[in-house]
Amino acid sequence: MSKWDYGGAYKDFDIYSNSIITIDNNNFLKVHDIFNELPNFMNNADIIFTDSPWNLGNLNTFYTKADLEHICFEYETFYKRLFECIYEINPRICYLEIGKQYLAEFIIEMKKKYKYVTFYNSNYYHNKDRICYVVRGANKAKAPKLDYMDEEDIIKWVCANEDYDYIGDLCMGRGLVGYNAYINNKKFVGTELNFKRLAVLLKRLKKYNENIKISL
C-alpha cells in the first residue's frame, strides 16, 4: 500500500473525484479543486477554519499525492483564489493557518474584509519546532487566548467554543475541522482535493458513531 493511500480508508467508501457526500442529512462535503466553482452548500458557513497549502512546493505536493496533474503557477494565484472563495462565502469569522513565508500576505488579504485581524503563534504535530501561524479575522472585537497552542488544539477550541451555525473548511484534508465540529454537535461543510484524505474523516466519524448516516 502506498503511503499516500492514508491507511486505505477510501476502500470502505464509494468515493471518487467530484463526489458529494452528505452526513446525517445536514453536513456536506465535496471532493473538489478550489479553482472550480464552489458548491452552493459552502455558502452555509458562517465561520471558516482552513489550513491550506503554505507555498508553491506544498501546493504541488498536494496535487501529486492526489494523483492529479495541474498547470504550474505562482503561489499568489492560489492564495488569491482562496480569498476569492472566502469573500464569496462571506463568513462572520475566518481562521487561516499559514507558514511564515506568506504570513504578511494573508494578514493583508484578511484586512481587506475584516475590521479586526490578529494572528497567533502556533505549531503543528505537537512539536514546538514546527512553527506555524493562525490568522483570525472578524468584524466584531474579540481576542481568544490561543497563542502558542498547537494548531490541532486551536481547531478543537474553535469548533467547541465559537458561535456558529456551520463551520466550513476549503481544504478539509483528513478532517480535523469536520470531526471536531461533529463531536461537539455542530454542523460542517467542506471541500477537499484528495478523496483518499477525505475518506479518513468518514472512517473516523463512523468509528465515533456507528449509526452515522453517510450518503454518497
Contact residues for 214 (Cβ-Cβ < 8 A; gap 6+): 13, 21, 22, 23, 202, 205, 206
DSSP, collapsed to helix, strand or coil, labels residue 92 as coil
Report how many domains make up the chain.
Answer: 1
148 closest CA partner among 121, 167, 188, 115: 121
Q: For the residues 45-56, what does the mean pLDDT come to?
A: 96
Q: What is the mean pLDDT of the chain?
A: 94
CA distances from residue 202 to 33, 131, 146, 152, 180 in whole angstroms, order as listed: 19, 29, 28, 18, 13
Q: What percent of the chain has pLDDT over 70?
A: 98
What mean pLDDT comes out for the span 152-166?
A: 98
Q: Which residues contact 151 (CB under 8 A, 6 or more apart)?
A: 51, 97, 122, 123, 124, 132, 134
pLDDT at 121: 98
Q: Which phi and psi (to 5°) does residue 50 adopt?
A: -135, 130
Read off the pLDDT of each residue in 149-157 and give the average, rounded to a whole number: 98
CATH number at residue 71: 3.40.50.150
Cα gap 108→128, rounded to integer Å = 26
Q: Tens of pLDDT along 194-205? A: 999 999 999 999
Instruction: Tell me the average pLDDT across 1-18.
Output: 84
Q: Would you state the pLDDT for residue 66?
A: 87
Confidence of residue 1 (pLDDT cuts 50, 70, 90): low
**What is the 3 state secondary structure string of 139-196?**
CCCCCCCCCCEEHHHHHHHHHHHCCCCEEEECCCCCCHHHHHHHHCCCEEEEEECCHH
> Identity (one letter) of the amino acid at 184?
N
Of the listed ranges 59-73, 122-136, 175-189, 196-210, the one predicted with least confidence = 59-73
pLDDT at residue number 4: 82
Which of the pair, 2 or 32, is modelled with greater confidence?
32
Nearest 5°: phi and psi at 126? 50, 40
pLDDT exceeds cutoff 70 at 71: no
Beta strands in 25-81 (DSSP E): 27-31, 47-51
Specify the higher pLDDT residue, 2 or 160.
160
Lowest mean pLDDT across 6-20, 22-36, 73-87: 6-20
Distance between first and last Cα of the chain: 25
pLDDT computed for residue 73 by the predictor = 77
For residue 132, which amino acid is it? C
User: pLDDT tens digits for 75-134?
Assistant: 999 999 999 999 999 999 999 999 999 999 999 999 999 999 999 999 999 999 999 999
Q: What percentage of the chain exceeds 90 in pLDDT?
A: 84
Cα Dmax for the chain: 49
CB of 111 within 8 A of CB of 117? Answer: yes
- pLDDT over 90 (residue 165): yes
DSSP 197: H
pLDDT score, position 18: 84
Domain that holds residue 151: 3-215
Average confidence (pLDDT) over 128-149: 95
In this prediction, residues 207-211 reach a mean pLDDT of 96
Q: With residue 137 as reference, give the H or E element that holds it.
A: strand 127-138
Side-chain half-sphere exposure of 26, counting CA atoms within 13 A: 8
